[in-house]
Amino acid sequence: MSDPVFLITGASSGIGAATARQASEAGYRTALLARSEDRLAALAEELGGAECSIPVRCDVTEWDEVEHAVAEVSATLGRIDVVFANAGFGAVRGFTEESPEHWRSMVLTNVLGLAYTIRASVDALDESGGHLVITASVAGHVALPGSLYSATKHAARSIGESARKELLHRGIRTTTISPGNVDTPFFDNTPDVHLTDDDVARAVMYAVSQPAGVGINEILMRHPGQET
C-alpha cells in the first residue's frame, strides 16, 4: 500500500491529535477533522503540510458536513484506509447537574455523530479494504452513577459491534477502543491514575497494524491503578 490515508474525527487535541502524530510517523497521510479550524491547521502544518496532512472543519452532528468532509478527503488524497471515529466529549455526572443543552450536544456527538461518520465513510473503506476504529470508553462497560455519558459509550460499543458484523462482509475490519481515565482535555482535573493520550494512540496503531488475517475487535485498557 502506497501513501495510505488515516482520517480522524476529533483530531484537534487529545487522543485524536496523538493518533495523528503516530499515524504520520508510521507513514500515513492524515486527514484531520474537527470544529476547531486553528488547531487543525497548526497540527496539519506540524505533520508536513498539504502533501502529508489536510485539515477539514467538520461538526460530526451535522450530516451534510460529515458527508462533505469525507468526500473532500477522498477527492484530495485519493483514498481512505483508516477511519478513526474519535469525536466525543463528556458531562458532569448527576441527572440534575448538567444542562439539557449540554446533554443534547453530547448525545448527538457521541452517538449520532459516530453513526454519521460510519455512513459517510463506508464506501471509501469498502474500496480500500480499510479499517474502522471507534473510541468508546471503560464507561461503556459499567454503568457509572448519574452518567449519561456512560450511556452514550454503551451505545458506541454497541454500534461498533453492529458495524463489525455488517462490515466484515465488505472486507472492512472494525476495532473499538475502550480506554479508562486518560490525561486529556476531557477532564478539568486530571485523575490521580491515568493513561496518556499517546498510550491510547499506540493501541489504535497496534490494531490497524495487524496483518489482514487478524481482527482486533475490541481493546479495553486502563492504568493498572484504576479500579473501576
Q: Please, where are the H alpha helices in 88-196? A: 100-107, 113-128, 148-167
Nearest by Cα to 200 from 27, 21, 31, 41: 21
Cα(first)–Cα(last) distance of the chain, in Å?
A: 40
Contact 163, 174 (CB under 8 A): yes
**DSSP, res 181:** S
- Edge-to-edge strand list for the sheet holding 29-34: 53-57, 29-34, 5-9, 82-85, 131-135, 173-179, 218-221
Contact 76, 123 (CB under 8 A): no
Among 28, 116, 149, 206, the one annotated catalytic: 149
The verdict on whether 149 is a catalytic residue reads yes
116 is written with which cell numbers? 454519521
Query: How many C-beta atoms lie closer than 10 Å to residue 166's C-beta?
Result: 13
Active site residues: 149
